[in-house]
Each structure stands twice: as C-alpha cells, then as structure tokens.
Structure 1
Amino acid sequence: MSKSEIVVIESQHEHVLFTLEEVCERCGAHTDIIIEMVEYGIVEPVEQPSPEDWYFNSQALVRLQRAQRLMNELELNLSGVALSLELLDEIDDLQKHIALLSSQLP
C-alpha cells in the first residue's frame, strides 16, 4: 500500500495560494469532497465568494491530507474527521502552552 503525501516546500513566496482545482489535483480528491470538507469546517479557503473563486494556502493542503488519512485509515465520516481534527488542534495548542510554561520554570 502506498501513501501519497503532500510535501510543502518553504520558499521566498510565503503566501502561495492554490485554487480549488489545484488542491484537488495535489490531494487526489474530487471537488465535491473538498467542498464538503469546507462545509464541515475541516478546512477554510482564504477567499470564499464561491467555490470557483476559492483559494487555499499550504496549511490547508496539509490539513486536507490529515483529513484524508483519517477518512481512509480510520474510516471516519466527515463529522468524525472534523471532531478529530478539532481535538488534535487542541492537543497541539496545549502542548505549545505546556512548552511555554516549562520554559518559564527555574
């Protein structure tokens, strides 16, 4: 079994944006699933007038990859993916907070 991974390369262009079509190509996902992920709050486009005008940043691509892995490997539905990502984000925030507090200890 091979895993496709999104590789984000840091460059001089910090604010590289991708269209919905480019996101679909890079993630190997159909437009409908990306639109549903936006509706569930899993990922948020930078600009939101309509799906044809959506742009996503590289962080959104990484988040979409995480969402796809949760769907494929754990067989979660979109509600489960949204909840899981929310909890993972909260864990990351708590770990950063713990690191900050730990650095302030003598």
Structure 2
Amino acid sequence: MSKSEIVVINSQHEHLLFTLAEVCERCGAHTDMIIEMVEYGIVDPIEQPLLDIWYFNSQALVRVQRAQRLMDGLKLNLSGVALSLELLDEIDGLQKHISVLKNQLL
C-alpha cells in the first residue's frame, strides 16, 4: 500500500485494534515516526494494558496517513502537521455544527 492511499475500513470493523507494529505495516511508516506522532498528539493510542504495547483504532490509521500526506505534500514537520490536523478537526466540527443549525431552521 502506498503512503498516499486512504485506509477505508467498514464501520463493522471500527472496534478493531491495531498494535504499533500493525500500524507501521499498514501505513508504511517506521516505528519511530509513529512514536513521534504520539508525542506530538497527532495520534493517540487507545489502550496501554502493558507499558510496551500500544493499540490504535482504525481512525488512527486514517489519521496517520493524513499526517503522512501533509508531510509529503506540503513538506510540513510534525509540529506543522499537528497544528494543521487540529485546525482541520476544528473546521470539520464547525461544518457539522453549521449543518445542525441549518437543519433546525428548516
């Protein structure tokens, strides 16, 4: 799978968890890069039953690939990627809020 592809996961599989190694394999990323993404708050592990094992959900896979596209396409560093994703998340939330308000007016 190339880095520019979006991982499409059926909603029935959203409960699946992926280890750090599986995220690296599916996204074509090195372990150190994913660890740095966690440190910058780009992606968060959802469970840490043991100190050495991180688990990620399917949304994290999509977010890692989105971050990779920002790094590759716009030549952003991880700090820039974190800020960009935060702003994109805020825009998405505002668009959803606008949609709710529009539906209330109808």
Is TM (by shorter chain) over 0.5? yes
8 Å CA contact retained: 2:3, 2:68: no
User: Is residue 2:49 matched to residue 1:40?
Assistant: no
Higher relative contact order (CA closer than 8 Å, sequence separation 6+): 2
What's the counterpart of residue 24 of structure 1? 24
Alpha-carbon distance change, 99 to 46 in structure 1, aligned in 2, over 3 angstroms: same
Q: Which runs of 5+ in 2 are unaligned?
A: none
Name the count of aligned residue pairs: 104
**TM-score normalised by the chain length of structure 1:** 0.90
What's the counterpart of residue 105 of structure 2? 105
Q: Which runs of 5+ in 1 are unaligned?
A: none
Deviations, residues 39-82 of structure 1 (Å, cap 9, x unaligned) = 000000011353x3100000000000100000000000000000
**Moved segments of 4+, more than 6 Å:** none
SS of 2:44's equivalent in the other structure is coil
8 Å CA contact retained: 2:14, 2:57: no
* Whole-angstrom distance in 2 between the partners of 1:19 and 1:8: 18
Q: CA deviation at 1:9?
A: 2.5
**TM-score normalised by the chain length of structure 2:** 0.90
* Whole-angstrom distance in 2 between the partners of 1:3 and 1:25: 11
* Whole-angstrom distance in 1 between the partners of 2:36 and 2:61: 15
Q: CA deviation at 1:100?
A: 0.2
